[in-house]
């Protein structure tokens, strides 16, 4: 791992951590202590085992470094994240599938429970797992109007796991989540703003980053302990369910995803993507 200081747009030094061939780049503004984590896995930031592992490691590092906040964004042109990498569960190797799913569980727990405030800068499409990661941040700013966001699992012929569902319910409420999930609806930026799936719609990435910094800087005036306790209490039931049911969730998903019916649906969906 290499480190270097670079000069940011507002002339403060940024501590930049990067590794050769890294899929995740992080900069930390030395003045504000706010980190920007950029997902950079071409072509669509699909979340496979190695990518999830890198994201989790990076989040743990930020916690150790005691950053004051984090913005999660994408380095790709028009995609925040295409969600889980479907090739991890289409014709899967069962051992790798288990490893993949438990890494997803751990990465999500790490992101959902960060002791520092987080903002998703959604600068591109954000289906399924991409939407999950955005919803797991404390605040969402989406660059409009061209992109879409939502939990579209039913469109793939699969079911969003309970903790995906609970995360969405926490953001938009039971009724809207039920409609969104059953229909697999992908919302435009305006629609997402209207139902509360995102907090702000902005015209470009620079504005999104400025607004993200503004949101995170609010916490300079809040006790970190009070922040963390409040977040833990608010998110407790969703987090605790997964902690208590990790193995059950894993066993179910691994069996379910390998069933003939699900494999057939996934094959057809992948084919439609290639077209």
- Annotated active-site positions, please? 84, 129, 152-153
The reply on whether position 257 binds ligand LTMAUQNL by CB under 6 A is: yes
The reply on whether position 43 binds ligand LTMAUQNL by CB under 6 A is: yes
The reply on whether position 122 binds ligand LTMAUQNL by CB under 6 A is: no
Which of 74, 63, 59, 71 lies closest to 29, judged by CA? 71
The reply on whether position 83 binds ligand LTMAUQNL by CB under 6 A is: yes
* Binder among 214, 226, 229, 273 for ligand LTMAUQNL (CB under 6 A): 273
Q: From the CB of 139, what's the least distance to ligand LTMAUQNL, in Å?
A: 22
* Binder among 59, 128, 141, 209 for ligand LTMAUQNL (CB under 6 A): 128
In eight-state DSSP terms, residue 209 is: H
Distance CA 221, CA 231 (A): 16
Distance CA 27, CA 4 (A): 10
What Rg, from alpha-carbon coordinates, does the chain have? Answer: 18
The reply on whether position 274 binds ligand LTMAUQNL by CB under 6 A is: yes
Q: Cβ contacts of residue 109 below 8 Å, gap of 6+?
A: 239, 242, 243
* Binder among 84, 120, 143, 177 for ligand LTMAUQNL (CB under 6 A): 84
CB burial of residue 129 (10 Å; 0-12, 13-18, 19+): buried
- Specify the residue, 68 or 125, whose C-beta has the smaller distance to ligand LTMAUQNL: 125
The reply on whether position 44 binds ligand LTMAUQNL by CB under 6 A is: yes
Tally of CA atoms within 13 A in the half-sphere of 82 that contains its CB = 17
Distance CA 152, CA 231 (A): 27
Q: From the CB of 68, what's the least distance to ligand LTMAUQNL, in Å?
A: 30
The reply on whether position 216 binds ligand LTMAUQNL by CB under 6 A is: no
Q: From the CB of 12, what's the least distance to ligand LTMAUQNL, in Å?
A: 34
* Tokens representing residue 41 in the block: 């896995």
* Binder among 256, 258, 263, 267 for ligand LTMAUQNL (CB under 6 A): 256
Q: Report CA dihedral (5, 2, 41, 66) to the nearest 10 degrees.
A: -70
Residues 47-76 that bind ligand LTMAUQNL (CB under 6 A): none
Which of 116, 73, 83 lies closest to 211, judged by CA? 73
Q: How far apart are the first and last CA of the chain?
A: 39
Q: Report CA dihedral (180, 228, 73, 62) to the nearest 10 degrees.
A: -150
* Binder among 92, 144, 150, 161 for ligand LTMAUQNL (CB under 6 A): 161
| Chain residues that interact with ligand LTMAUQNL, rule: CB under 6 A | 43-44, 46, 79, 82-87, 125, 127-129, 152-153, 156, 158-159, 161, 252-253, 256-257, 273-274
């Amino acid at each position: 791992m290499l480190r270097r200081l670079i000069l940011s747009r507002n002339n403060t030094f940024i501590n930049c951590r990067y590794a050769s061939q890294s899929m995740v780049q992080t900069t930390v503004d030395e003045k504000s202590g706010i980190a920007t984590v950029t997902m950079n896995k071409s072509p669509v930031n699909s979340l496979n085992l190695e990518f999830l592992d890198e994201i989790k490691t990076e989040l743990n590092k930020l916690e150790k470094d005691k950053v004051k906040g984090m913005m999660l964004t994408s380095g790709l042109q028009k995609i925040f994240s295409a969600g889980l990498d479907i090739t991890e569960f289409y014709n899967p190797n069962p051992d790798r599938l288990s490893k993949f799913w438990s890494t997803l569980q751990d990465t999500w727990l790490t992101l959902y429970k960060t002791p520092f405030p987080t903002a998703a800068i959604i600068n591109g499409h954000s289906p399924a797992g991409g939407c999950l990661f955005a919803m797991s941040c404390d605040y969402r700013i989406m660059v409009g109007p061209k992109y879409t966001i939502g939990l579209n699992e039913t469109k793939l012929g699969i079911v969003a796991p309970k903790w995906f569902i609970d995360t969405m319910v926490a953001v938009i409420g039971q009724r809207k989540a039920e409609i969104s999930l059953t229909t697999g609806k992908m919302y435009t930026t305006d629609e997402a703003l209207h139902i509360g799936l995102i907090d702000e719609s902005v015209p470009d990435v620079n504005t999104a980053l400025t607004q993200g910094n503004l949101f995170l800087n609010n916490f300079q005036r809040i006790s970190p302990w009070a922040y963390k306790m409040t977040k833990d209490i608010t998110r407790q039931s969703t987090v605790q369910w997964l902690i208590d049911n990790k193995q059950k969730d894993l066993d179910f998903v691994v069996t379910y995803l390998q069933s003939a019916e699900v494999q057939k649906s996934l094959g057809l969906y992948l084919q439609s993507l290639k077209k």
